[in-house]
Chains A and B, each alone.
Chain A
Amino acid sequence: MLKIDGKEVEIKKSGTILEVARDADIYIPTLCTLKELPAFGACRLCLVKIEGMRGYPPACTTPASDGMVITTNDEELNDLRRKILELLLSEHPNSCILCEDAETCAKYRTCPMKVGQITGCQLCPNKEHCELKDVIEYLGIEKVDYDFEYKDMDVERSDPFFDRDYNLCILCGRCVRVCEDIRGMGVLAFTNRGHETRIDTSFGKSHLELGCKFCGACVDVCPTGALSARATKWHGEPDATVSTVCGLCNINCGIVAGVKWGKLVETTPDSDSYTNGQLCVLGRFCIATITNHFERLKYPLVRKDDWLIPVDWDEAVESAVEGLKNYQPQDVGFILSSDLSNEAAFTLLELARALGTENIAIASDASSGFGGGNESGVSALCQLSGFDEEKLMKPEEIAGLKAVYTTQHLAAGGIATDSGAAAGGVDTDGSAAADGIATGGGVATSEKPEFLIVQDVFESGTSKAASIVLPALSFIETDGTTVSFDGTLRILRAAPEPYARARPDWKITNDILKGLGKEAIFETHEDVRSAFENGLKELPQPELQDLLSEKNWLPKMLKERNPSFSYRGVDLTRLMDDLKTVWEAV
C-alpha cells in the first residue's frame, strides 16, 4: 500500500511508480516510456516527489514500495515539467500547437503540402496523433520563451519504406530501444554528444547496409512525426480501423487495418494480439500497397477468340460451369493456394467432391519462410476431406491435366519452379509468362491445359494464359478464418470495401457449385465455417507453448529467417520496388 496524491493505492504487482499509478488510473505525463520497453528515464516529464527522498525522482524508473507517499501532480512539479517541455519545444517545430490560429488552421487548411521539410503546423505527418501535443495540452503551455532553433537536418529518404526527419526528433530513444531490445537488431543508436546528440546508424550508413529488415517497429513507437511510413504519412488519420490478422505468411500476426475513403491506407501492429504488437516488413508496409495495386484482377474475364474479354459475373460463372462439364472427373484438377482462407479452401474441396475428382494439389509456400498465409489450415482441411499427404498430387502434375482450376499463379509455387528465371522467386515479366504455364515452366512446357480457370488476386503469367479469370478479394478484404502455425484458428475481417468487382474466393466457388446444380450449401462465410470447424478442432495441435510464452518470440524467429515474399504465387517484390530493394539486401 502506498499513497499517490492522497489516494491509497495498492501495489498489485511489483513495478515502478509509473506502473502502479497507471494501474490506479493516475495519469503522469511521459514521452519516453513505453510499456513494452525497458525504462529509460530520459524525458524527465514523469518527475514526482516522494516523501523522504531528495529531488525529483522519475516515476518511470523508481520502484514503488510500500509506505511511499508520492505527489505526482502539483504546481511545483507541473511548473518544472513545463520548463523542461519548453526546452524541448525550443527545438521542435510547434506552431501546430502553440500558434494562436492553430485551431482554425487545423480546421480550414487541411490540405498538407508535400514538402520535405517540416517547419509549421500543416507539414507534420503526425499531427493527428502527436504525443508531444497531448503532453503540452495536459500541462497547458501557451508560449515558449526562447528563440526557436530549427536544427535544419536533411530529411532522410534514401532507405525504403520510411522517412526520417530528425528535426522532429525529441530523443526519447524509443526507436533505439525497440530496435535493440525487442527486435534484437541494433541498427539505431545515439550518436554524437551534447547538444549535437542525435539518433543515427553507426557511421551514418544506410539502414539497408546495416541489415535493417524494415519491420517498422521504430516508426510505430515514435511519439512525433520524426519517423513516418512514406506511403501513408500524408493520409492523416484513417476513418475506421479493423483488427484482423495478416495473411501473407502462416504466423498470421495481429494487425490493425486503417481504412480511409473506403480503401485500405495502412496496417499497423495490433499490440493485443499473440504477436505482441510486432510485425515484419510485409505486414507493416506492404499490405496496403499490394491491396491497392494496379495489377489487381478487376473483373471476370473469359477467353473469346483468343482474347480475354471482361464479362459480368453471371457469364463468367456460367462459362466456368459449362467448361467444367466438358471434362471427365479424372481430367479435372484443383490447385489450392496455401494463402486461401479456410472458407475458400473448403468450398473448393466441396467443388472437387461434387465433380468427383480426386486430383488435388496444394501450392505450398512452406519451402521458404513460414509457409503460405493459411498453410496449416489448407492442409488440415485437405486431410479432413481425405486428402492426406500421400493422396495429394503435386501442382505440376495437376497442371498436366486437361482442365485445371487454380487459385494462384504457378511460376513460383509449383509448375515453373524448375525454370531458371522463376526458381529464384523472381517472376518473369508479364509477356514471357503469358505463355507462362506452358512455355515458361519446366514440367508442363509441352502440355498446356485445354481449359484453365484462374481464380486469383493479381494479374500474372498464369492469369494471362487462362480460359477464365475469376478476380478474388485478398485476405484483408474478406471475412473468414485462417489456421496459424501454432494450430490456432484466427479470424480474418474484411477491412476496406471490395476491390473493383472482385469477390470472396468461397463465394465464387460457391456460385460455380450452384451453377452445377448442386444444392446451394452456403449462404454466408459463417455457414462455411460451421461446416468444417468441428472437424478442425479434432486435429492434433502443435506444441508451441514454450516458444510463444516468450514475449519477443516473433522478432527472434524473424531474425533467423524471413517470411516468403509471395502471395498466391505472385512475387511481391515485383509489385513493390521498395520491397525488392529490401529482398535483395536480406
Chain B
Amino acid sequence: MPERTILICRGTGCVSSKSPEIMEELENLLEVHGLAEKVEVKQTGCHGFCQRGPILIIEPDDIFYCEVKVEDVQEIIETHLEKGEVIDRLLYTDPQTGQHVPNYKDIMFYKNQQRVILQNCGHIDPEKIDDYISAGGYVALEKTLAMTPEEVIDVVSKSGLRGRGGAGFPTGKKWQFCRNAEGEPKYVICNADEGDPGAFMDRSILEADPHAVLEGLVIAGYAIGASHGYIYVRAEYPLAIERFAYALETARERGYLGRDIMGQDFSFDIEIKKGAGAFVCGEETALMASIMGKRGMPTPRPPYPAMSGVWGKPTNINNVKTLASIPVILSKGADWFASIGLEGCSGTAVFALTGKVANSGLVEVPMGTPLNKIIFDIGGGVPDGKTFKAAQTGGPSGGCIPAKDGEINVDFESLAAAGSIMGSGGLIVLDEDTCMVDLSHYFLSFTMEESCGKCPPCRIGTKRMHEILGKIKAGRGEPSDLQKLEELAYTIKNGSLCALGGTAPNPVLTTLRYFREEYEEHINNKRCPALVCKDLIWYTINPEKCIGCGICARKCPVGAISGEKKEVHVIDHEKCIKCGICFQSCPPKVKAVEKKTN
C-alpha cells in the first residue's frame, strides 16, 4: 500500500493549464527519487475550483495545492513528500483574511458546500470503474434490479427530486408518464447539451464521475421499461465524450450494461449522440429532432415526448444532474434525499459560479440556500473592494436578482417569483461596474443568435428588442422605448413556440423591474451610470493627477493623446475612439485617466 496518494485534477480546466504535464513530471521524478512505490499518483475529474487550477491534493495529509506549475513538482517531492513540510506559497489564500489555508476541507469554497451530486468529483479516477465501485457505485443498480419498476419510480417520487435541467418537473412523475405510455420500444435520453454560456456542471460531472450518470440512466431505463438509451452531448466536450465512451465500454465488460444486466432479465444499452453546438438543442423536442438527424428545431407540445418522442416512441429525457442524483437516492434512500433542501424542492443544486466573485467554480448547495450565502460564504464576495450589484441566474434565459434581494432562497419557486429562473445552473455575479442595459443587450444577442428561427416572436422579436436596447445604449433611446420593450417581451414570452423564446426576454424584464432608473438615465439624461456604454462616456485626464509619464500617449492606437514629457497630457475627443487603453495603462498609483458620463 502506498503511503500517500496525490490526486491531480484532469478536468478540462486543469488539463488546459497543463495538469497532464505535471502528472508526467510527478511520475518521472517519483521514480528518480525512489518514491514510486510509496506514493500513488491518481488522476481525478474536476474539483470545481477551476479558477485556481491546476489543483493537486495530497492524501492523507489533505493538503491542497493550487495553481501548480511543472517547475513546482521537484519542490513538492523534495519538500513535501521527503521532508514532510507544507509548501506555503502553493496554498490557497483566503481572499477575506489573507491567510493561507493548507487543508482543503477548511477552504471556504469547499467548507460551505454540501456535495451530493459532485461527491465523487475530484476524488475518484473517472477512468477506473473500480474507483467508482469502491466509492459505492453500482450498489444502487443492484438494489434497483431487485425491485419492481414501480417501486423504483416510487422511491424517486418520494425523494422529491425535480428535474435539474431548469424546469423543475418532478422526476418520478415524468418517469411514470413514460412508463404508462403505450408504444414499444421506449427510450431514455440523458440531456448533456449544456448550452448556457459559462455553465459547465454537466461537463464536469461527465468528466469526473461518468459512471454515476451511466448508472442513473440504466436505472431510468429499468424503471420506465426502455431498452435503449441515448446521451446527447455537445461535440465541444471532447473529454466528456471520451470518458463517457470509456465508461460505457468498461460498464459493458462488467455486465452493468448490455444484455442481461447483472445477471438479471433486463437488457439495456446506451448510445452517444454528439450535438453540433446549437443552444436550442437543449430543448427536449429540438434535441430529439437532432438525434433523429433532423435540424434541431422544437415542435409544439402536446404531443409530449413521453407519448411521442424519438422515432415517435415514448421517450423520457433527463438532465445530467438529475440522472447523477438517482444512484445516491436509491442507495441512501428517498428519505435521506428528501431531508436535504426544502420541502417540495429537495436535494441540492449545482451552480457554475462566475463573474465578479473571488472564488469561481462549481458549487453545490442544498436547495433553498440563500443567494448571499453562495456569493459571500462560498464565493468569497466581490473582489477589489467593489460592491455587489446583482446576480444573474439561469444563464441568458434567466434574470437578475438585485443585491437588495440577496437573502432570497435559491430554489425553483423563489427564483421564478423574482422573475428569474433556476435554469440549468449558471450564476453570474455582477458588481457596480456592470451596466444593466449593456447586460441585457449582451444576453439578448446570445438568444437572438441561438433562436432556431422557426417562429416569428423569437426570431424577429428578439432582433427588434436587441435593436431597441442598442439604441438606448447609444444614447438614442426615447421614453416610449421602455413600453415598447415591455410589449415585445410580452409578445415573445407568450407567442413563442418553445422555452428559448419563452424565457429570452427575462434578462430585459428583470433589469427593467429592478433597475428601471438605469434605463431612464440612459434615455433621459444620456448617461451610463456604470460607465460602460461607449457612446455615453468619455475619457479625460485629471490634470491634478497626471505625472506626464507618457505611457497612455504611447499606447493610444489613434494618437489622440498629446502632451510634453513630465507635463499634463490631454485627450483629443475628436480623435478618441474610447477603446479604454489609456484608462487601463495609466499606472495604478497615478490613476489620472478617468471615465466620465453626463
Contacts and interface: CB of A to CB of B under 8 A. Distances in A.
A66 to B, nearest CB: 15
Interface in B9-40: none
B409 interface: no
A41, A173, A194 interface centre (most CB from chain B within 10 Å):
A194
B507 interface: no
B295 A190 contact: yes
B492 to A, nearest CB: 9
A171 B459 CA distance: 10
Contacts of A192: 453
A87 B456 contact: yes
Contacts of B299: 41, 61
B456 A195 contact: no
Contact of B453 (A88, A91, A147, A194): A194
B252 to A, nearest CB: 36
Nearest to B295: A190
B495 A62 contact: no
B455 interface: yes
Contacts of B490: 83
A90 interface: yes
Contacts of B149: none
Given A194-B448, A195-B451, A197-B452, A87 B491 contact: yes
B462 interface: yes
Quick one: which of A61, A146, A195 has the most chain B CB within 10 A? A195
Chain A interface residue count: which class?
A: 35 or more
B254 interface: no
Interface in A20-79: 39, 41-44, 47, 55-58, 61-63
Contacts of A80: 491, 494-495
A44 to B, nearest CB: 5
B60 interface: no
A42 B455 contact: yes
A71 to B, nearest CB: 14
Contacts of A57: 300
B327 interface: no
A210 interface: no
B448 A84 contact: no
Contact of B455 (A44, A62, A146, A193): A44
Contacts of A198: 453
Contacts of B278: 193
B478 interface: no
A84 B456 contact: yes
A131 B345 CA distance: 48
A47 B493 CA distance: 13
Contacts of B463: 149, 195
A56 B494 contact: yes
Contacts of A147: 467
Contact of A42 (B449, B462, B484, B497): B497
Given A58-B300, A195-B448, A84 B453 contact: no
Given A41-B299, A83-B487, A87-B461, A197 B453 contact: yes
Contact of A87 (B452, B453, B457, B494): B457
A242 interface: no
B464 interface: yes
Given A57-B300, A62-B300, A171 B453 contact: yes
Given A57-B300, A146-B464, A193-B449, A83 B455 contact: no
B319 interface: no
A170 interface: yes
A560 interface: no
B494 A55 contact: yes
A321 interface: no
A193 B494 contact: no
Nearest to B299: A41
A79 to B, nearest CB: 9
B299 to A, nearest CB: 7
B496 interface: yes
Interface in B454-501: 454-457, 459-464, 467, 484, 487-488, 490-491, 494-497
A44 B457 contact: yes
Contacts of B491: 80, 83-84, 87
Contacts of A39: 300
A145 interface: yes
B302 interface: yes
A91 B456 CA distance: 10
A434 interface: no
A58 B300 CA distance: 8
B463 to A, nearest CB: 4
Contacts of A197: 451-454, 459
B456 A43 contact: yes
Contacts of A90: 460, 464
A57 B495 CA distance: 9
Contacts of B484: 145
Interface in A185-224: 189-190, 192-198
A88 B454 contact: no
B300 A193 contact: no
A88 B451 contact: no
Interface string B350-365: 0000000000000000
Contacts of A61: 299-300, 302
Contacts of A190: 295, 297, 453-454
Given A146-B464, A189-B295, A195-B463, A44 B302 contact: no
Interface string B72-92: 000000000000000000000
B450 interface: yes
A202 to B, nearest CB: 11
Nearest to B480: A145
A88 B463 CA distance: 12
Given A44-B497, A56-B494, A173 B300 contact: no
Contacts of B303: 63
Interface string A474-489: 0000000000000000
A426 B278 CA distance: 50
Given A190-B297, A195-B463, A88 B448 contact: no
B481 to A, nearest CB: 11
A56 B460 CA distance: 19
Interface in B85-132: none
Interface in B278-326: 278, 280, 295, 297, 299-300, 302-303
A193 B453 contact: yes
Nearest to A62: B302
A114 B323 CA distance: 61
B500 to A, nearest CB: 10
A41 B459 contact: no
Contact of A41 (B300, B449, B462, B464): B300
B375 to A, nearest CB: 32
Nearest to A65: B302
Nearest to A173: B454
A346 to B, nearest CB: 52
A87 B459 CA distance: 9
Given A63-B302, A195-B451, A44 B462 contact: no
A171 B490 CA distance: 22
A39 B454 CA distance: 13
A193 B450 contact: yes
Contacts of A146: 464
A135 to B, nearest CB: 12
A83 B457 CA distance: 9
A166 to B, nearest CB: 13
A83 B449 CA distance: 21
Nearest to B464: A146
Interface string B258-288: 0000000000000000000010100000000
Given A84-B456, A190-B453, A192-B453, 12 more contacts: A42-B455, A56-B495, A61-B299, A87-B491, A149-B463, A193-B453, A194-B453, A195-B460, A195-B462, A195-B463, A197-B452, A197-B459
Nearest 4 A/B pairs, CB to CB: A197-B453, A41-B300, A87-B460, A83-B491
10 contacts: A43-B456, A56-B494, A63-B302, A83-B490, A87-B457, A87-B461, A171-B454, A190-B295, A193-B453, A197-B452
